[in-house]
Structure formats: structure tokens, C-alpha cells
Amino acid sequence: MVGILALQGDVAEHRRALRDCGIEPREVRTAAELEAVDGLVLPGGESTTLLKLIDRYELRDPLVKRIQGGMAVLATCAGAIILATRVSDGETPLGVLDITVTRNAYGTQRDSFEADLDVAGVGRVRAAFIRAPVFEATGEGVEVLATWDGHPVVVRSGAILGLAFHPEITGTPVLHRYFLDSVLDTTGRGGA
Ligand code: GLN
């Protein structure tokens, strides 16, 4: 069972992408709902708002525990920012993905752009960067699967797949497919 953290952000777009992969995801807003899923999508949106809501819904500890316990996570844009160990500004992140992040590093909403990326093990991916962060540095054990303009934009650390962009609004959901086939399946918790 795959869940989508449904507190804020582009939940509907991820639901559609997963449905396109033949998966009916469950919305996650409580610790009990989190317990019931094998993998979780953290959507993009606004990382400060997401972290405030995570604390308000008392999800911080349960999320950290599940992620440190090996739950598969697809974290996109703000979803990846909230997992980082070091972030330029904003609320305290969860600190489970060893990356250093500068928020809004490409400028404002009007500086948003699309790019074609070559992602290792996946192939060509059309990516939408929307008020995107820059992953400045990655720690040991964090694999870089794609870069853009000299910076990592797709990283993998164990069962965490972190993206600096939105994969759910452009083209076919190849990164969702990769997440389901190559990340979720390797956690040993079974498929979707
Ligand atoms: N700028 C947002 C933040 O810092 C992220 C934007 C996004 O998720 N598209 O949280």
C-alpha cells in the first residue's frame, strides 16, 4: 500500500501519476494512516507550511521513525526539503536525508522552468522546477542519479528517493514507476 502525505501541496497530481501506474494510493494525515502504508509520497508545496502541519498533526516522530526504519519514500521538491539534514532557512527539517539544501535557489515562481534530465537507471525525464531548491551537497551514502546545472537533482539514500523538481506534472510517470519497481520493492515489504 502506497500513501501520499495529504497535508498540503500537489496531492492530486501524485494521485493521478500513481493511478497511471495502476496504483490506488491512500491519503495519509494521521499516525495510524502512516502505519498502514509500505511507501509514502511527500508532495511538493511549501516546506515551511508542510513542517508546521506535520507538527500540528503530531506526525514528526512517527515519520522519522518509519523513514529511519526503511519505509520507501518518494520526496519531491518541498517534500525533499523537509527530509534534509541542513536547510538554508525555514522550519527545522526532519533530518533523515543527508543533503544540504538552499531553498528557492532559482528565484521566484516566474523563474520556474522545465528541463530534460538523464536519470541513471531510469532514462530521459521531463522535469518541472517550480521555486525549486538547490541540493548543494550530499553526504556519504547518498547516491546522485541525476544533476542539473552542476547540482544533484535526483538523489537516493537507501529507500529514500529525493527530487528537486516535480515529476508528476510533466509527461509519463517514469519516476513513480521507478519508485514502485526499484525502491518500494527492495524494502522487502512487498509491492503496492
Ligand atoms: N519553494 C518551496 C519551499 O521552499 C518548494 C517549492 C515546491 O515544492 N515546488 O518549500
Give residue 133 CA to ligand 1 midpoint distance, Å. Answer: 7
Ligand 1 touching residue 77 (CB < 6 A): yes
- Looking at residue 147, what is its pLDDT? 98
Length of the chain: 192
Q: Is 85 exposed, middle or buried (0-12, 13-18, 19+ CB in 10 A)?
A: middle
Cβ atoms < 10 Å from Cβ of 12:
12
Distance (angstroms) between ligand 1 centre and the Cα of 189 equals: 30
Question: Is 130 a pocket residue for ligand 1 (Cβ < 6 Å)?
Answer: yes
pLDDT tens digits along 158-181: 999 999 999 998 878 999 999 999
Q: pLDDT-based confidence at 188, cuts 50/70/90?
A: low
Give the residue numbers marked as catalytic.
77, 166, 168
* pTM for this model (two decimals): 0.96
